[in-house]
Structure 1
């Protein structure tokens, strides 16, 4: 039985139009949170699903890798519930790019979506959290940091930056009752995973894990919900790996 561990909280979930983002938004809603779903694509389906659970929800379509766009939506983020309690920085891309084909424009694009967006969204809501004396920021990183994956130089560098950003941000925000942690999923069967990674690779990855099945979005939601609750009040600056035991390799 799910208890309302997030009752009365206002949560922003980025990349909320599908995959991990939708799963996280729905689980937070089941646990009592109201949801602001943000995505570069319309998050209307996620918003409707949250409302069916009896929670308030709104959707914002924006490119959060762009500083002006984030500045433009910040008033809407803060007006929805009068504050923001939880930020889940889930938005990201994971393209494979041959090193000899990787140009600076693509490097910057991958960094902007995976790393810059997390900084921009955190700075958009952290003052609200400071005023409340309570806040939870959960950043999605990647278990690829512990592996050797060809064709992912920009992606792995960007996700490595997320881990460093998480630790540094946690240090600066701790005095205000705000915790910051990162979650590292494995390659998973989501719409994005199937599109960019493919089922053959997903199955291959699963066979290297201790738990030999392909990961799905629901595998990380419990960890994200824990890190965004009162139960994790003494846990900050940590990187939690949810990958079926792949990083033991």
Structure 2
């Protein structure tokens, strides 16, 4: 009996912010489904690599720097022959009301949370066109639909992700490339560990599923959207938040 082909076998996936948290979970999930995974982060992702079954490549760099994207592209081509999937997960967030928020923080938030997505598309769309196949999944946030003070810069950048996804999807659909966004709930990572327990409970009490999101919950949706099974899904924004985001 032939073994079932893994859903991502033969694919090469770049995951940004892969050193920990959601990015780490996504990288591990894609590798389990057969992908060769490139771990792109500001720091070396040795912990993630140690958890991966299969081939992986650790690369360090700045997602807001076009030259770093070019360098990583060259490294991936030398090692794996090219890139099929890009998951733009790297991001930052801080709680600052408009009285405290300065333009430097505003620009930094947009640069990491949104400009990096543009840079990845500029770098990898041409080779995906040649292969007539490609997947971009860009991580947004369900915070754009709920009331959280002090997050105007973060929400604006994450809403921008959805706009970019929908626009890019139209540009590349004729080349077998899909582009989608995933909107996670507040997820149990190092970045959220300082949130008071009471606030966490208030968060998941607004959900249909009464628990805090885990990185693995987000990874499953990314794995699906980067597979052949999702070939007719593009330009979409998928909330993965236990039913918190309400349709209205």
Distance 1:130 1:199 in 2: 47
Residue of structure 2 equivalent to 1:14: 16
Please say if 1:65 is aligned against 2:67.
Answer: no
User: What is the Cα deviation at residue 198 of structure 1?
Assistant: 4.5
Contact 1:188 1:202 in 2 (8 A): no
Deviations 1:165-184 (CA, angstroms, capped at 9, x unpaired): 00011110111100000000
Deviations 1:205-232 (CA, angstroms, capped at 9, x unpaired): 0111111111110111111111000000
Match of 1:206 among 182, 204, 207: 204
Match of 2:39 among 32, 37, 40: 37
User: What is the Cα deviation at residue 248 of structure 1?
Assistant: 1.8
User: What is the Cα deviation at residue 84 of structure 1?
Assistant: 0.5
Cα RMSD over matched residues? 1.5
Count of residue pairs brought into register by the alignment: 244
What is the correspondence of 1:58-207 to structure 2 with a 5 Å cutoff? 58-195=57-194, 197-207=195-205
5+ unaligned residues in a row in structure 1: which ranges? none
What is the correspondence of 1:36-55 to structure 2 with a 5 Å cutoff? 36-50=38-52, 53=53, 55=54
Deviations 1:30-81 (CA, angstroms, capped at 9, x unpaired): 100000000112212112221xx1x110111111122333233331133331
CA gap 1:157/1:49 in 2 versus in 1, 3 angstroms:
same
Distance 1:79 1:173 in 2: 25
TM score, norm. by length of structure 1: 0.94
Contact 1:189 1:202 in 2 (8 A): no
Q: Secondary structure of the equivalent of 2:217?
A: helix
Q: Secondary structure of the equivalent of 2:239?
A: strand
Please say if 1:224 is aligned against 2:222.
Answer: yes
Q: Secondary structure of the equivalent of 1:244?
A: coil
TM score, norm. by length of structure 2: 0.94
Distance 2:208 2:221 in 1: 18
